[in-house]
Amino acid sequence: MGTDCNICSTKCFGREGYHGSCCTLEDRDWIIGPHHDTEDFIKKLSLKLGREIQEEEIFINYDEGSKLFPNKSTWQNPESYPALRVDFFNPRLPCIFYNTKIKACTMYDIRPNTCEIYECDYLASNT
């Protein structure tokens, strides 16, 4: 992982000790999407995990997502989908592939294009 990963996992948005904001919902009006390479990512993930992955295992569609977060406008916008699933057992609501303990994406090497090209304002102005 490169320099950006070091910033994202230790000083996200310039805040010491903060990490992975783009991979977590927290209490913000944020969605991890849209993803336009779902089929390609599912193929890569299936190969990596050694089993066939179904789209609904990893992506949320508009019908489901708009009901999950009725008070968040990004989740009410059909153009935000498909979005990556989040871990509802973690209070930060991270993407199911973001490990908050190691502060890294567990699928970084095959991550979807939306994740790969994402650059927050902090990175854009500080790297």
Question: Is the pLDDT score of 115 beyond 70?
Answer: yes
For the segment 84-96, the average pLDDT, to the nearest whole number, is 97
Work out how many domains the chain is built from and give that number.
1
Average pLDDT, the chain: 92
pLDDT in the model for residue 3:
52
Query: What stretches of 1-127 show up as alpha helix (H) in DSSP?
Result: 3-10, 38-49, 55-58, 62-68, 113-117, 121-126
Range of the domain at 36: 3-126
Q: What is the pLDDT confidence band of residue 2, given thresholds at 50, 70 and 90?
A: very low
What predicted TM-score, i.e. pTM, was given to this entire model?
A: 0.90
Q: What is the pLDDT confidence band of residue 5, given thresholds at 50, 70 and 90?
A: low
Question: Is the pLDDT score of 49 beyond 50?
Answer: yes
* 86 burial type by CB count under 10 A (0-12 exposed, 13-18 middle, 19+ buried): buried
pLDDT in the model for residue 4:
58
For the segment 91-98, the average pLDDT, to the nearest whole number, is 97
Q: What is the pLDDT confidence band of residue 79, given thresholds at 50, 70 and 90?
A: very high
